[in-house]
């Protein structure tokens, strides 16, 4: 019996989760060898790192790689996703490093930068830049490379965490799986949200009509569980500034969740937010909104902060970021517009 793994293309979190029930006729066998036979393309080293990180459970107890499986054991494993087959070349590109030690790098990603190569973006990505940085800071180490644990959209800015070795990657992946990562995002959305705070609990999956975007599905077989908590920071009349806390991390989660409740992100072209969705028909207002679009030529979404247990020190660490200039400028413009309306 095997559960489907988490599919990276459907999630911003890069791990796989498997569950097995051992056959009645199974002879005693080391669990690392058992899982190698069960999981396609899973190396022994990758499975052992998962075990050392505490990511393999047998009957709800953490086990070591040499644990012997028995008939009817229930095995669960969280595997950090392996590097993509796409070859990555180092590139000297500017990146903003917030923190770095021997196990992790925390960066403040600029809007417009793709996280990893693929889908026509084979150069100029964050992974290209990180590979260059690691090779420069670890000369002679051919194994120095970044291990992704999550990702954010190309046109979303903000805090991202990257592991520098497989053990750190495995330990962080388990935190994403357990939903213990503390993540906050700032979004500017169309409309005046009714309540000061709330929770959006709606399954998300690929839109069958357009594979480039996500959709909300009532049928759990068509979507994956996704939960976003939010509270209002400021109201500007026709748009609202909100802080979002992610319980899960699906692709485009905040973007499709807010569209689902009728508050599409400001200037989110993929979900219709680059049209004037709220407000008046006055020419001056239309010009004002278009000026805001020019200031912020992307969806109004920023990964503000990230908190987690450090994979080595086991201490809770938290990283925060300022609003990027384009988002800050658009917010201030709306703030001044809102004050003008009140006067």
DSSP 12: S
Q: CA-CA distance, 167 to 146, in Å (whole number)?
A: 12
HSE at residue 16, side-chain half, CA atoms within 13 A, is 18
Q: Which of 152, 133, 97, 148 is nearest to 299 (CA)?
A: 152
Which pair of structure tokens corresponds to residue 32?
């690392």
List all residues 6 or more positions away from 213 whose beta carbon is below 8 Å from its beta carbon. Answer: 206, 207, 252, 256, 270, 271
Q: Which of 227, 226, 222, 225 is nearest to 207 (CA)?
A: 222
Query: Which parts of 69-110 fold into alpha helices (H)?
Result: none
Q: How many CB atoms lie within 10 A of CB 140?
A: 6
Q: Which of 18, 10, 62 is nearest to 39 (CA)?
A: 18
Query: Does residue 299 contact residue 268 with C-beta atoms inside 8 Å?
Result: yes
Query: Does residue 76 contact residue 57 with C-beta atoms inside 8 Å?
Result: yes
Q: Which of 115, 117, 43 is nearest to 82 (CA)?
A: 43
As beta bridge partners, residue 13 has 150
Q: How many CB atoms lie within 10 A of CB 40?
A: 7
Our answer to whether residue 73 is catalytic in this structure is no
Q: CA-CA distance, 240 to 244, in Å (whole number)?
A: 12
Task: Single out the catalytic residue among 6, 32, 153, 326.
Answer: 153
Query: Does residue 5 contact residue 17 with C-beta atoms inside 8 Å?
Result: yes
Active-site positions read 153
């Amino acid at each position: 019996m095997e559960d489907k793994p988490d599919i990276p293309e459907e999630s911003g979190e890069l791990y796989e989760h498997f569950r097995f029930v051992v056959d009645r006729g199974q002879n005693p066998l080391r669990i690392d060898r058992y899982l190698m036979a069960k999981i396609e393309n899973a190396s022994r080293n990758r499975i052992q790192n998962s075990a050392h990180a505490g990511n393999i459970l047998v009957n709800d107890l953490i086990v070591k790689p040499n644990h012997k499986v028995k008939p009817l054991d229930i095995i669960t494993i969280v595997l950090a996703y392996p590097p993509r087959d796409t070859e990555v070349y180092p590139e000297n590109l500017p990146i903003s490093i917030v923190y770095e030690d021997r196990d992790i790098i925390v960066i403040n990603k600029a809007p417009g930068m793709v996280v990893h190569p693929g889908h026509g973006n084979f150069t100029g990505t964050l992974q290209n830049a990180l590979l260059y940085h690691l090779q420069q800071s670890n000369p002679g180490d051919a194994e120095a490379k970044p291990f992704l644990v999550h990702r954010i959209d190309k046109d979303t800015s903000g805090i991202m965490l990257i592991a520098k070795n497989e053990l750190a990657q495995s330990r962080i992946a388990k935190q994403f799986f357990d939903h213990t990562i503390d993540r906050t995002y700032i979004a500017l959305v169309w409309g005046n949200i009714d309540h000061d705070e709330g929770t959006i609990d709606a399954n998300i999956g690929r839109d069958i009509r357009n594979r480039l975007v996500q959709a909300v599905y009532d049928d759990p077989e068509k979507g994956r569980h996704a939960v976003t908590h939010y509270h209002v920071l400021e109201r500007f009349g026709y748009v609202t500034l909100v802080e979002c806390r992610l319980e899960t991390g699906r692709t485009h989660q905040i973007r499709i969740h807010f569209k689902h409740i009728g508050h599409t992100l400001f200037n989110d072209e993929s979900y219709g937010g680059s049209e004037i969705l709220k407000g008046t028909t006055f020419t001056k207002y239309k010009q004002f909104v278009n000026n805001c679009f020019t200031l912020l030529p992307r969806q109004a979404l920023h990964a503000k902060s990230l908190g987690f247990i450090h994979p080595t020190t086991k201490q809770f660490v938290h990283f925060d970021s300022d609003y990027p200039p384009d988002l800050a400028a658009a917010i201030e413009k709306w703030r001044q517009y809102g004050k003008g309306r009140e006067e």
